Amino acid sequence: MEKDYNFFPLRCGCSDFELFLKFLPTVDYGTFLCKIEQQNSNMKTSDVHLWRDSLKSKFIAVSLLYEDVLNQIPIWKSDIELTKERGFCDDISQVILLIKYETFLNSIYNLCETLSHLVRRFYSKANLPHGFHKQMKFTQTIKDVDETYFRILERVGWYSEVQSYRSEATHFLSGSIFISDSGEPGYQNKPYNERQDALKNISQDNIKQHVVELYKKVCSFVTEFSKHFLLTKCNKDKPIAGFCLRRADGRTGTRTITLNDYLCGKPPTCIAFEFDCPHEEECEALNKPSSRKN
């Protein structure tokens, strides 16, 4: 007999970032309150789902663009070989590599900016500076509010290139791709910015090596950030709910779990309506529908 339902198993191997997004709704309710955009309305609602979706999509963008850059490099190399053979070649693959590399840097900027504004929400009364770069510079202010976050920011020296690329003038001045001595694609850009801490020149002799190292550092930062605020801002005893089963007739199964229970490896709690669950024998959830019939 063909099954008339879809079952969604509980994932036990979530990354710290995934866990942070999953339990973000358990943060103090006032953190994400915002006014409803209606005329003469003083009502407020939570926009936590928007923050969660935004952070998820922006991290996915970084990962996708990372792959895009790496996948474009062999195409660029192939065209370089054609140039050597024919004496000329269309430079479109080089332009595409340049666009993908700069878009990759831009995606890191977008992610970090969103994380910095989230920190402002966490510490709304501390009047923290807007923007990731400014939070890096206001060290004493950050240290007074959250020393662990301050220590995390101390280890993000890799952000200098991202910030310099995003500085005012380079919004309309594109960099260039060149062939390094090793035969690998390199990147060159001269930021036009008068900030004292601005890089005077951006030069990478090996885009592939640099992108791999930069992506690892970004992921490490996101992991540290997520782990810290997961354990300090999320309510470990407040349950979150999620669908575990959806039947063809529209009925659904739902379960809840707290962060404490998840971290301790404890099973979730079933809160589905009382119906015969087709997956009950394999399910490890507590409070199954059959137990509520007794």
How far from each other are the two terminal CA atoms of the chain, in whole angstroms? 29
Mean pLDDT, residues 52-79: 96
Selected residue with higher pLDDT from 227 and 196: 227
Q: What are phi and psi of 77, to 5 degrees?
A: -65, -40
With 70 as the cut, is the pLDDT of residue 37 above it?
no
43/103: higher pLDDT = 103
C-alpha 161 chain-centroid distance: 19
pLDDT digits (tens, 9 = 90+) for 198-215: 667 788 899 999 999 999
Rg of the chain over all Cα atoms, to the nearest angstrom: 24
Distance, in Å, from the CA atom of 176 to the CA atom of 162, rounded to the nearest integer, reads 16
Using the predicted structure, report yes or no on whether residue 8 has a pLDDT greater than 60.
no
Write out pLDDT tens, residues 69-80. 999 999 999 988
Quick check: 34 and 121 in contact, CB under 8 A?
no
Lowest mean pLDDT among 39-48, 67-76, 219-228: 39-48
Q: SS3 for 249? A: coil
DSSP 180-231: -TTSSEEEEE------TTS-S-EEES-HHHHHHHHHHHHHHHHHHHHHHHHH
Measured CA to CA in angstroms, residue 18 lies from 54, 131, 196, 225, 227 at distances of: 13, 23, 37, 12, 10
